[in-house]
Amino acid sequence: MKRIKEIEGQKKANKDILLDNLPYIIIILIIIIIRAFIATPIRVNGDSMDPTLQDGETMILNKLGMKTAGIKRWDIIVIKTDDSYLIKRVIGLPGESIKYENGKLYIAGKEIKDNYSLTKTEDFEETIVGKNEYFVMGDNRFISKDSRKIGTIDKSEILGKTNIIVFPFNRFGLVK
């Protein structure tokens, strides 16, 4: 009889511990769900998006935005690679033809104003962007490893969009 009371007492103690910690468990589950499906912090590595984004900045990767609003020209996206990720700007959309000639961007044969690069972009041959693919470039065109070198990016390789700097605090805010 004494053993039964000990077991019942232990069950009550375990239940009390669970109930006492339930708010923490719920918070942890919410954080896991948010990071897995909605948003997660991501760090800028390198200077390929300079001056828009600077090496070492922390941004929010918006996984949901891509699903709800889709991917548009000039969006900043995060691309998964074999060993890390790239942060680039969308220049060309599926089905478009892209080329730079005499420092000017042409999409489907029409000149498009490109306000994001501070340096002249080297000319390159016309590229046709395939279905479910995107042509991306870094804002620092001189050093960027982008679609000019690695080809177009398949939609399945895109982790999400990013446009909010959260650290350092003096750069906190939206980027375009």
142 contacts: CB under 8 Å, gap ≥ 6: 119
* CA dist., res. 129 & res. 113, Å (int): 19
* CA dist., res. 83 & res. 31, Å (int): 25
Give the single-character DSSP code of 119.
Answer: S
Pick the catalytic residue from 67, 80, 88, 144: 88
For 69, 73, 141, 152, 163, the CA distances from 176, given in Å and listed in that order, are 16, 11, 17, 22, 7
Residue 34 neighbours by CB distance under 10 Å: 13
Catalytic site residue 48? yes
Q: Read off φ and ψ for residue 79, nearest 5 degrees.
A: -115, 130
Identity of the residue numbered 105: L
Pick the catalytic residue from 11, 12, 48, 131: 48
Catalytic site residue 147? no
The residues annotated with a catalytic role in the active site are: 48, 88
